[in-house]
Amino acid sequence: MDKFVTHTGIAVAMNRANVDTDAIIPKQFLKSIKRTGFGEHLFDGWRYLDEGEPGMDCSKRPLNPDFELNRPEFQGGTVLVAGPNFGCGSSREHAPWALQQYGFKAVISSSFADIFFNNCFKNGFLPIVLKEEELQQVFAAIDKKPGEKITVDLQNQQVSIAGLVFGFEVDAFRKHCLINGLDDIGLTLQHREAIEAFEQKRLAEQSWLANTI
């Protein structure tokens, strides 16, 4: 998992409330047994004018010019700024995968659905909760200057844009994992020597177990 300490990038405004996971990555794309290829189908139903299906060549599909991600000033955006209750709906882990694979490093809102929020951290993707009035100030800064860059400083737990600086809370353990690039497997492997020593001792004391695996 990639480390996240500080990131600066273009802020993409999606001032919509209750964006659910089926909008983030529609259900037909969940058929894949792979963990890749979801970025080009992020917000597929809103992003394109035709109906998307797995395996399509998205480079030739007609884009919806009114959709936020298709605006020229938001191209290359890496921080999504969304309305309240982002990530509601079904508990698909593909939602943070799609956001990450599109190129987003973090998402900012005033509230998130619990399962989506937890899935983000599990996959090294940072969801940031700001107060509603602070979120509206961020939207106003982007509206004033579309394509404005925003900085997310996880170490100091701050978001800054257009001279505005807002603090945010994050669980200390989750912060540690993101800054050090540790997912559940990475956390376990920190104890590799102790695990290997335990297994060696177990097999030495109960050698008959080696033939049962």
Q: Is the pLDDT of residue 212 over 60?
A: no
Task: Mention every residue, 6+ apart, whose C-beta is less than 8 A from residue 30.
Answer: 92, 94
The three-state secondary structure class of 114 is helix
pLDDT tens-place string over residues 85-123: 999 998 889 999 999 999 999 999 999 999 999 999 999
User: Which residues on adjacent β-strands are paired with residue 151?
Assistant: 8, 160
Q: How confident is the model at residue 186 (pLDDT cuts 50, 70, 90)?
A: low
Q: Are 92 and 21 in contact (CB under 8 A)?
A: yes
Annotated domain spans of the chain:
6-182, 183-213
Q: How confident is the model at residue 202 (pLDDT cuts 50, 70, 90)?
A: confident
pLDDT tens-place string over residues 158-174: 999 999 999 999 999 99
pLDDT tens-place string over residues 52-86: 999 889 999 999 999 999 999 999 999 999 999 99
Q: What is the DSSP letter of 62?
A: P
Cα 121 to Cα 12, 71, 87, 107, 194: the distances in Å are 20, 28, 13, 11, 26
Q: Work out the percent of the chain whose per-residue pLDDT is above 90.
A: 77
Q: Is the pLDDT of residue 133 over 90?
A: yes
Task: Indicate left, alpha or beta for 141 from its phi (over 0: left) and psi (-120 to 50: alpha).
Answer: alpha
Q: Is the pLDDT of residue 208 over 90?
A: no
Q: Minimum mean pLDDT among 16-20, 82-86, 112-116, 179-183: which range? A: 179-183
What is the number of residues in the chain?
213
User: Which residues on adjacent β-strands are paired with residue 20?
Assistant: 88
In this prediction, residue 96 carries a pLDDT of 97
> Six-digit token pair at 141?
């800064």
In this prediction, residue 194 carries a pLDDT of 72
Please provide the CATH number assigned to the domain covering 6-182: 3.20.19.10
**Mean predicted lDDT score pLDDT of the chain:** 92
Element (H, E) at 199: helix 192-205
